[in-house]
Structure 1
Amino acid sequence: MSKTAAVPTAAVRARAEIDLSALRANVRALRARAQGAAVMAVVKSDAYGHGAVPCAREALAAGASWLGTTTAEEALELRAAGLPGRILCWLWVPGGPWRPAIEADIDVSLGGMWALREVVEAAWAAGRPARVHLKADTGLGRNGCQPGEDWAELVATALRAEAEGLVRIAGLFSHFACADVPGHPSIAAQLAQFREMTAYAEQQGVRPEVRHIANSAATLTLPETHFDMVRTGIAMYGVSASPELGAPKDFGLRPVMSFSAALALVKRVPGGHGVSYGHHYVTRGETTLGLVPVGYADGIPRHASGSSPVLVDGKLRTIAGRVAMDMFVVELDGEEPPVGSEAVLFGPGDRGESTAEDWAQASATIAYEIVTRIGTRVPRAYLNASA
Structure 2
Amino acid sequence: MIAVRRIAAAAAAMSLMVGAVPAGAAPTAKAKAAVSLKGPTSAPYGSTIKFTGLLWKYGTTQRIAGATVTLQRATHGTTNWTTIKSAKTSSAGAFTFGVSAGARYDYRARWGGSAAYTTALSGVLKPATAHKVVVDSFRATTADGDGIASIDVRGRVFPKPPAYSTGRLQRWNPDSRQWVNIGLASNTDSGSGSNILDAWGRGTQGIATYRLLAVARGPWAAGASAPFTLPIYRSREAISASRYTEGASGASAGSRWMLVDGSRLEQGIETSTARWVTFPTATCRTMVLRSYAYNGDTMRVAPVISVVSDAGTLFAKPFERAGTGWSVPDHYPIPLKGARQVRVTVTNRDAGTGSFYQLSGALSCYGA
TM-score range, shorter chain: under 0.3
Structure number, greater radius of gyration: 2
Normalised TM-score (structure 1): 0.19
More strand by proportion, 1 or 2? 2
Q: Output the TM-score relative to the length of structure 2.
A: 0.20
